[in-house]
Every structure is written in structure tokens, then in C-alpha cells.
Structure 1
Amino acid sequence: PFSISNHFFDCQLSLYDGCLPSQVLKSLPRIEGRPGATLPPLDFDALEAGLRLLHGDDITEEDVMSAAMYPKVFEEYKEFTGSFGPVDCLSTRLFLDGPKIAEEFQVEIERGKTLHIKALAVGDLNKTGQRGVFFELNGQLRSVLVKDNLAMKEMKFHPKALKSVRGQVGAPMPGKVIEVKVEPGQKVEKGQPLCVLSAMKMETVVNCPLTGVVTVIHVNTGTSLEGDDLILEITAEE
């Protein structure tokens, strides 16, 4: 496994005498002596300056050491805290499992400043894969939308047509596809009907915006669409 071979490659300890290192490392290069002795000098001042440029001026000495020893882990940590804030003020159970409904807890965000929070309810999953979370914050009713990553793995999202990409045709309004009038590889002319949508008991014809060839069709008869959902793609005729 990579973890084992990487361990041998990183360590290269003299106690692994014999054929075992060769069998594990195989074609990986061997390092003679202490691995750290061959590393180039590290400019900690330059590293700190780079971290401050990327993450702001709240970089500590511990951050610099972490970035020096575990650069990938440190970047993942900063990305996480950038999205979710200083979660170190939460207890381990609250961080891993979240609060139970009707549970009250306190979070000290700084010395002398404590938030009193009570979890009230979690709403149903919406079309964008989010749930409404309702809670009390210092006695005031609050709510936020939280992405349900576990549920989103099972959800399918229809791609959106990008207005900046010529040839991507999107739905002008929410509706259901009742007829697709073209097929992949077919040459189409500007203004030619491409498909028919049904919305609020009315039929809407989606016309071709340019002359070209249909390359990909993203819908079938019966597909339900939201506004700007991608219907098909056309390669413009040169």
C-alpha cells in the first residue's frame, strides 16, 4: 500500500537493514543518511509572509510551524475554518454529532462573550439540497439554510445553461418537456423549433438561437425543468 511504501520512503531508517526496504520501496529512490539533512533551508519569514497574504494577519507561530510540516493538512484546515468559522469553541460531541432537538448549550466565542443556543427544529430537504435549521440565539428566534451533504450525494441536479456560452439553450421558464423536435447530429437553423415545454397548461416552443449542429441533448420527453436548465447544446456553423 502507498501508506506503507511512503512511510519507508520518508523514514529510510538504518534499522531496516536487509532486503525489506528494497521489497517495499521497489523503484522509489533511496536516501542515504538522515532524510532531513538533505532538505534545503526553510525561510520561515517568507513562509509566514505568504500565509498572511493568503489567509490574513491572524497567522500565529503555530500556524507557520503547521504549514511547514503539514502543508496540505494546514491548507485543508484553513479552508474548513474559512467556511465554518472557529469551530474549536465547540465541544467534540457538538462538532461531530450536532445538538439534539430542544438541547441548550453555550459557546464561548471569546473571553467574557458567551452565546446561549437552543436547537429547535430541522426542516425538510429542499430542491437545492438544503435544510432549514431553526434555533434560539440568546433568546431570539433564528434560522439558517444548511447544505445536507449526505442527501445531496443521492440527489441529481440538472445542469444550467450558461448565458456566456454560445450554443447552450436553456429553459425560458419552469415546465415539463412534452416533445423534443431534434436529435444529436442534426443540422438546425436559427428560429427552428427545438422542443416544446408545458407550463401552467400552456405550451411554449423553444426556438433555435443560431444556425449549427445539435451536439448534445440533455432532456427527454417528460423531463421537468426549472428556469435556465440546460436543454441542449449546439455547435455554431462557421
Structure 2
Amino acid sequence: EMPGGQFTNLKAQAASMGLEDRWPEVARTYADVNQMFGDIVKVTPSSKVVGDMALMMVSQGLTREQVEDPKAEMSFPDSVIDMMRGNLGQPPGGFPAGIVNKVLKGEQPNTQRPGAHLPPVDLEAARKELSDQLEGVDIEDDDLSGYMMYPKVFLDYMGRHRSYGPVRVLPTRTFFYGMEPGEEITAEIDPGKTLEIRLQALSETNEDGEVKVFFELNGQPRVVRVPNRLVKATTAQRPKAENGNANHIGAPMPGVVASVGTKAGQKVKAGDLLLTIEAMKMETGIHADRDAVVKAVHVSPGGQIDAKDLLVELE
């Protein structure tokens, strides 16, 4: 029962996490997660929650039985925790009690209408707050609505827009996979303002992991130097968490470190948030499973990680 509109998004997420060749397994796990959550109605955003959980399970090699086992400790994607708290509402009869207890670790969910607990919003004050964060940018109603519903996603989008310009005008395939030498695309950056972009050639990767890109912009030759992310990904090796070592906290999936909430020498208690990782809009919090002292933190915000990379050491 995967919604058609989700199919391509989830497949792209799987590919970004290195799971493209395991797509049939992802699809079967999606069905397992759906049943584990009580055969819920799957629309945006509940369908995304099911997909987030399926990707996490496949990337970590987890079965439905292991996830439902109350004795097996694990971290869940933030979207799953949010849904089990009742922040998307409740299905008829509620979510299965076992999975709610496992995800929330004893926290009581809200079984009432989520919107009933939201305080009133001063839209103009929120508009000014957003404008201040974006250094005086005029905020239209559509932007304000996007920020109110998805503040982190919207601010990430605006940050990328400042760095790279209006990449939304690129053809989808070009945005995801880049261009091939000899390929030409058209991008309309403003009404009546069109760019004709033709990729001519790429240089060899230098010792800094960068390549020169030779291209034409409306017939004019241009050169720009960019990082070759593929080369950097294959050369940067991180230590791996040791299997069975309770002091090693490893990455549950490939992604990017979104935030780090601890440092070496800090005392943490069971359940404290150590860091968050993000992969294709799926954010997962990594929590301490016991009281301990942090011996070392091996990552920093913005760092690219692979599954089982060592993130934090405890003592």
C-alpha cells in the first residue's frame, strides 16, 4: 500500500543511502512496518514515517521481530517518535501499544487532536522573526506558511538558495545526477531570463579532491572548480564501531551529522540526546542508552558518515 506519489521519493532516498540494489527488500520492509504500526492510513506525512522506518531497518539489517522485541535497544527516526507521540493524530483504536511503549520509552502519548494544544500564532511577529533570521529578506505568505509548517526544512532550503542560487529551476535529473560532457540544458531563472548551459569537459581530480568544470553559459566559455564528492567519499575513512563494544556508538545509517549535543568529558544520563543525523529529510536522534561519561566525539556537524561509523565513545 505504498502511495504512488511516495514511490519515486522513497526510491531516491534508498539510492542516496546506498540501498538502490536492495529496493525489493525496502518495499517488503515497508509492508512490515505498515503492519507493525497498525496498518495505518498512509498519506503525507504518515507514509513518510513508514518509509523512514523501513529505510532504517534495511540499512541496519533489522527485522520486524527485532524491532518489536521490548528487550532490544535501538534508536528510532525522529519522525517515528513524533508520530507515536500523537503529533500527527491517532488512527482508529490508536497505535499498537507495544510499539508505542518501545518508541516512547514510557512517555505518555497525546491521544487528543494535536491542533488543540497549539498556542495561537502571531503571523506578523513570525514574519518579522523569519525576516530577521534571513537578514532582512521580504517574506511572502507562501514562504511564511512553509516556515510555520516546516521551519528546519525551510531554513535549510533558504541556506542552500543563498549558496547555490535558484537550483529549483534545474531539470530534476540534472539536480540529482549532474550533467554529462556534451549535454546541454535550459534553465529559466526569471520570467524571460533563460540560461543555456552546455557542459564541455571535466578535468582530473587534484590532490585537494577538486575538479575543474569547463562549460558554456549562453555561448560564453566558463570554468569553475568544484569538489569531487565521490572521490572524497571514497578516500575519507572513519573508524568503525566495534561489534559488541557497549562503549562504542555507531551510525545506524549513512547520512550527514545534523547536530552534536555532547562533548568529551561530559556526563550523560540514559536517554540524553548525543547527536542527530540526517539522510534525505529523515532525521534520527542518537541517545545514550545508560549513564556514562563521554570519552570522545568523532564527528562534527555537517560531516558525512557511513553506516557503522564510530560516532561517540563512552567510558
TM-score for the superposition, normalised by structure 2: 0.45
Q: Classify the secondary structure of the residue corresponding to 2:146.
A: helix
Does the CA contact (< 8 Å) of 1:129 and 1:155 recur in 2?
Answer: no
Percent identity for Structure 1 against Structure 2 = 37
Structure 1 residue aligned with 2:109: 30
Structure 2 residue aligned with 1:109: 189
Does the CA contact (< 8 Å) of 2:146 and 2:154 recur in 1?
Answer: yes
Structure 2 residue aligned with 1:48: 127
Does the CA contact (< 8 Å) of 2:184 and 2:197 recur in 1?
Answer: yes
Deviations 1:163-189 (A, max 9, x none): xxxxxxxxxxxxxxxxxxxxxxxxxxx
Does the CA contact (< 8 Å) of 2:213 and 2:223 recur in 1?
Answer: yes
Structure 1 residue aligned with 2:174: 94
Give the 3 Å change call, closer, same or farther, for CA 17–112 of structure 1 in structure 2: closer
Q: Name the larger-Rg structure.
A: 1
Residue 4 of structure 1: how far off its partner (Å): 3.1
Residue 32 of structure 1: how far off its partner (Å): 4.3
Residue 144 of structure 1: how far off its partner (Å): 0.3
Does the CA contact (< 8 Å) of 1:104 and 1:119 recur in 2?
Answer: yes
Residue 88 of structure 1: how far off its partner (Å): 1.3
Give the 3 Å change call, closer, same or farther, for CA 150–30 of structure 1 in structure 2: same
Does the CA contact (< 8 Å) of 2:202 and 2:214 recur in 1?
Answer: yes
Structure 2 residue aligned with 1:222: none
Residue 60 of structure 1: how far off its partner (Å): 2.1
Q: Classify the secondary structure of the residue corresponding to 1:125.
A: coil
Of the two structures, which has the highest relative contact order with CA contacts closer than 8 Å and spacing of 6 or more?
2
Give the 3 Å change call, closer, same or farther, for CA 112–29 of structure 1 in structure 2: same
Structure 2 residue aligned with 1:167: none
Q: Classify the secondary structure of the residue corresponding to 1:146.
A: strand
Does the CA contact (< 8 Å) of 2:90 and 2:111 recur in 1?
Answer: no
Q: Classify the secondary structure of the residue corresponding to 1:65.
A: helix
Deviations 1:76-97 (A, max 9, x none): 1112112111011111111111
> 1:5 and 2:81 equivalent?
yes
Residue 52 of structure 1: how far off its partner (Å): 1.4
Give the 3 Å change call, closer, same or farther, for CA 134–35 of structure 1 in structure 2: same
Structure 2 residue aligned with 1:15: 92
Give the 3 Å change call, closer, same or farther, for CA 22–91 of structure 1 in structure 2: closer
Write the distance in 1 (CA, Å) between the matches of 2:108 and 2:92. 18
Residue 57 of structure 1: how far off its partner (Å): 2.1
Q: Classify the secondary structure of the residue corresponding to 1:94.
A: helix
Residue 149 of structure 1: how far off its partner (Å): 2.1
Structure 2 residue aligned with 1:144: 224
Residue 17 of structure 1: how far off its partner (Å): 4.1
Quick check: which one's helix share is greater? 2
Does the CA contact (< 8 Å) of 1:118 and 1:135 recur in 2?
Answer: yes
Q: CA RMSD in A?
A: 2.4
Give the 3 Å change call, closer, same or farther, for CA 147–14 of structure 1 in structure 2: closer
Structure 2 residue aligned with 1:160: none
Give the 3 Å change call, closer, same or farther, for CA 99–38 of structure 1 in structure 2: same
Give the 3 Å change call, closer, same or farther, for CA 96–58 of structure 1 in structure 2: farther
Deviates more, 1:78-87 or 1:18-27: 18-27
Does the CA contact (< 8 Å) of 1:105 and 1:118 recur in 2?
Answer: yes
Give the 3 Å change call, closer, same or farther, for CA 111–17 of structure 1 in structure 2: closer
Give the 3 Å change call, closer, same or farther, for CA 107–26 of structure 1 in structure 2: same
